[in-house]
Amino acid sequence: QLQLQESGPGLVKPSETLSLTCTVSGGSISSSSYFWGWIRQPPGKGLEWIGIINYSGSTYYNPSLKSRVTVSVDTSRNQFSLKLSSVTAADTAVYYCMRHIPHIDYFDYWGQGTLVTVSS
Amino acid sequence: EIVLTQSPATLSLSPGERATLSCRASQSLSGYLAWYQQKPGQAPRLLIFDTSNRATGIPARFSGSGSGTDFTLTISSLEPEDFAVYYCQQRSNWPPALTFGGGTKVEIK
């Protein structure tokens, strides 16, 4: 059974960089069949797609966040990561990592989510 | 950017009743719409993709329909575990963007 688990600081100061890692178990991130990525959800609000990456490093980002987002992959550790720079309170959210199915472009496996609060 | 509008915001129903949820797009999606279920404190779960295809393990009481800009998720007979928030998601203008609707909460009446 594929499992995804987010990890990283739960508190980030304004203007700093948010960094999260997703560890994949029960399957290989090196499969060419999938992309891996991030979605966030501000408290009490809806879902926002952030970006995705595949095993070879090809990426797609939400145009509204593109200037601040970097998603990277470490196949040796079966992990992928998110960096979001210059954060503000508006970036406070639960961040989910997920598996993206290409060609149908939906998300079938998700991590449990991790709350990141931006505050001084 | 394609905007997805879900209605109603909240649907109050009793177990056993039929639930009909709507998702309207600002432009045609060519059928490229999915539905997710999210329970409190949990990640979303894929229910339906490309308008009407049930994801693996999803019960037959969940069905999707629609075309163009208007789509519907129907739960034929609500089970206690179906009370949750439901989101639609489009991939019509992908890349670059994948977007979600604002959600419909199905609550117990």
Q: Is residue A105 pLDDT above 90, yes or no?
A: no
Among A75-84, B80-89, B94-103, name the one with the lowest average pLDDT.
Answer: B94-103
**B32 touching chain A per CB within 8 A:** yes
Q: How confident is the model at residue B8 (pLDDT cuts 50, 70, 90)?
A: very high
Please tell me the distance in Å from A41's CA to the nearest CA on chain B.
Answer: 10
B91·A108 Cβ contact <8 A: no
Measured between CA atoms, the residue of chain B closest to residue A109 is B45
User: A102: closest CA among A6, A31, A24?
Assistant: A31
**B30 touching chain A per CB within 8 A:** no
Q: How confident is the model at residue B85 (pLDDT cuts 50, 70, 90)?
A: very high
Please count the other Cβ atoms lying within 10 Å of the Cβ belonging to residue A5.
14
Q: How confident is the model at residue A104 (pLDDT cuts 50, 70, 90)?
A: confident
pLDDT of residue B93: 75
pLDDT tens digits for range B57-84: 999 999 999 999 999 999 999 999 999 9
With pLDDT > 90 as the criterion, what percentage of chain A qualifies? Answer: 90
Q: How confident is the model at residue A103 (pLDDT cuts 50, 70, 90)?
A: confident
pLDDT of residue A53: 94
Q: Is residue B94 pLDDT above 80, yes or no?
A: no
Best to test chain A binding among B53, B56, B98, B105 (most A CBs inside 10 Å): B98
**CA separation for the pair A81, A22 (Å, rounded):** 6
pLDDT of residue B87: 98
Q: Are B55 and B46 in contact (CB under 8 A)?
A: yes
User: How high does pLDDT run on average in chain A?
Assistant: 95
A107·B46 Cβ contact <8 A: yes
Fill in the DSSP letter of residue A86: S
B107: which 2 tokens? 């609550």
- What is the number of CB-based contacts under 8 A between chain A and chain B? 51
Measured between CA atoms, the residue of chain A closest to residue B42 is A112
pLDDT of residue B95: 75
pLDDT of residue B96: 73
B96·A60 Cβ contact <8 A: yes
Please give the average per-residue pLDDT across A68-86, as a whole number.
Answer: 96
B16: which 2 tokens? 């056993």
Please give the average per-residue pLDDT across A65-69, as a whole number.
Answer: 96
Calculate the CA A15 to chain-centre distance: 19
Q: How confident is the model at residue B97 (pLDDT cuts 50, 70, 90)?
A: confident
Instruction: With beta carbons under 8 A apart, name residues in chain B contacting A61.
Output: 96
